[in-house]
Amino acid sequence: MALTIGIDIGGTKVAAGVVDEDGQIVEHLLRPTPADNPEQVAEMIAEMIRELAKGREIEAVGLGAAGFVDETRSVVRFAPNLAWREEPLQKKVSGLVGLPVVVENDANAMAWAEAKFGAGRGESHLVCVTVGTGIGGGIVLNGSLYRGRWGMGAELGHMQVVPGGRLCGCGKLGCWEQYASGNALVIEAKEIAAADPERAARLLEIAGGTPDQIEGQEVTEAARQGDPAALAAFSSIARWLGQGMADLAAVLDPGCFVLGGGVSRASDLWFDQAREAFAEDLSGRGHRPLADIRLAELGASAGLVGAADLARRR
């Protein structure tokens, strides 16, 4: 059975694994990311590949990176959490290990993994939305990964949903991820707690007494204990998620949405509301099929599994 190596390169850790044709991880490694030194990142990736390749015939390597990857799937043009600017990652790593290397955006890699081996199996048209600190995305159309003309498509979190709204890390105002992400959840909870402390009594107690101390974990804990402010914050995120998916459906008409990322671990607090908001906001509702909305299945391994399979299909 043909084996490839997939590597998911994050701002704090690098996960690598040997992956078979069925998307199963044969061996797995995890290392901290030397995020401020591009040369050290490339060397560490090469070391992980060599370790995983010992005694195995490896066909190719796929690298999943959070950032803009060019249309040739070789250069990382910009990575917000790593010191990569026009980084020739494919050339560097391939030269170090002597294997074919493909570079892909990490959210694209996750979407591909979910489409082939996870929650999106059997769907030829799907949109994957990763809801974490921000929002990432990947799109599969007609069974193929959609990357855009320059390789930078599916940056879903940066659709503008509120003109003149909250400032986003990308420099724009009112991006979707400022209203429907883990960061947005905390912002909503802090605003509600500051305006109405009685409503947020349990949340403030858990967080230490002041709105400034509220973090995502506290919001989730308080919501599960019935705190009205925390529940309202999750309801707000759910509405924005549903509305954003409805806008994407108007453009892409997918058969399903796959939702992953850290916020999905608290899906019991928002998933049904997001589905309802999607159905309510969908254009032409009542006269078109509703796309299915599913939770991602592959968890933290999706990025490396997808990168490995895309390398196999290079």
pLDDT in tens, 16-74: 999 999 999 999 999 998 878 889 999 999 999 999 999 999 999 999 998 899 999 99
In a shared domain, residues 187 and 221 = yes
> Is residue 117 included in any domain, yes or no?
no
Q: Average of pLDDT values for 171-193?
A: 96
Burial class (CB in 10 A: 0-12, 13-18, 19+), 297: middle
One domain for residues 104 and 143? no
From residue 25, alpha-carbon distances to 41, 56, 154 in Å are 22, 14, 26
Name the residue with tokens 């078979």. 20
Q: Is 98's pLDDT higher than 80? A: yes
Sheet containing strand 3-9, strands side by side: 25-32, 13-19, 3-9, 58-65, 101-105
**Same domain as 182, residue 92:** no
Angle at 26 between CA 111 and CA 102, to 5 degrees: 45
Which residues are bridge partners to 138 per DSSP? 128
Asked whether residue 182 is domain-assigned, the answer is yes
Same domain for 228 and 207: yes
Same domain for 76 and 169? no
Residues 165 and 92 in one domain: no
Q: What CATH number should be reported for the domain holding residue 68? A: 3.30.420.40
The mean per-residue pLDDT over the stretch 101-130 comes to 96
Determine the pLDDT at residue 191: 97
Q: Which of 145, 136, 15 is nearest to 80 (CA)?
A: 136
Its domain, for residue 260, covers: 122-296
Nearest-CA neighbor of 84 among 137, 158, 146, 34?
34
What average pLDDT does this structure show over 184-211?
A: 96
pLDDT tens for each residue of 123-155: 999 999 999 989 999 999 999 999 999 999 999
Residue 224 is predicted with a pLDDT of 97
30 touches 46 (CB < 8 A) = no
pTM: 0.92
Domain identity same for 159 and 267: yes
Give 184's pLDDT tier (boundaries 50, 70, 90).
very high
Query: Percentage of the chain with pLDDT > 70?
Result: 100
Averaged confidence pLDDT in the chain: 95
The answer to whether residues 86 and 135 belong to one domain is: no
Q: Are both 75 and 167 inside the same structural domain?
A: no
Same structural domain, 180 and 209: yes
Q: What is the rounded CA–CA span in Å between residue 186 and residue 161? A: 19
Look-up: residue for tokens 């159309």? 141
Q: What is the per-residue pLDDT across 243-299, written as a single tens digit (0 to 9) for each?
A: 999 999 999 999 999 999 989 999 999 999 999 999 999 999 889 999 999 999 999
Residue 308 inside a domain? The answer is yes
292 and 305, same domain (yes or no): no
Residues 6+ apart with CB under 8 A from 109: 6, 8, 62, 64, 138, 302, 303, 304, 305, 306, 307, 310
Number of structural domains in the chain: 2
Question: What does the alpha-carbon distance between residue 57 and residue 253 come to, in Å, rounded to a whole number?
Answer: 41
Judge residue 32's burial from the number of C-beta atoms within 10 Å of its C-beta, 0-12 exposed, 13-18 middle, 19 or more buried.
exposed
Residue 231 has pLDDT above 80, yes or no: yes
Residues in the chain, overall count: 314
Average pLDDT over residues 96-108: 96
* In a shared domain, residues 65 and 129: no
HEC string of 43-65 equals HHHHHHHHHHHCCCCEEEEEEEE
Separation CA 149–CA 137 (nearest Å): 16
